[in-house]
Structure 1
Amino acid sequence: MKTLGTHNYYVYIMTNKIKTVLYTGVTNDLKSRLYWHQHPEAIDRSFTSKFKYFYLIYFEHFDDIETAIRREKQIKGWTREKKETLITEFNSDWKFLNEEIE
């Protein structure tokens, strides 16, 4: 069991190459999750493969899974416009952030 405060949870938003699809998720290992989004054939042959959302454009860090899940659900309930505002405030150029995650 990890000591309180040492947990890492991430709410993230992925997009496709032309930035028409937004996918919001939650994970405890962002680097690993990025790998699986980029290699969907290993786990999911439908949604990820169909829409090709391989590019990280937004993420938030949390120490508590319940808080992260609440935030994920909140963002998923937003309009596209509100999600775009959130992304732009965090990443004004909508730069793909995959290579910045260690």
Structure 2
Amino acid sequence: MNILKLFYRNLTQGPSTVAFPFGPAWTPPKLRGRIRFDLPACTGCRACEQVCAPGAIRFDKTPEGLRFMMWHNSCVFCGLCNFYCPTDAIVQSDDWHLAHP
């Protein structure tokens, strides 16, 4: 294809990518994103910790009880924690904005 034809086509059709940091971005339905944890719904069975392959979920014993810790930088968003939680205390949201300063 001639470079001028290609340039004209790109100029008339507009950008083919989303302007994520500068505008809204499309989120696909049923996206497995950031984990949301509901502490009152948790029974402390620790099934999510057992099935988490990369070890992104940990429970620590404190004087107040169990403390839930989640590392999103280790999470592979497989959804096993959500699947095996008997009380739906762990839910995967469609939030994929994980970058932070």
TM-score band (shorter)? under 0.3
Q: TM-score, normalised by structure 2?
A: 0.20
Q: Which has the larger radius of gyration?
A: 2
Q: TM-score, normalised by structure 1?
A: 0.20
Give the number of the structure whose residues are more often helix, by fraction: 1
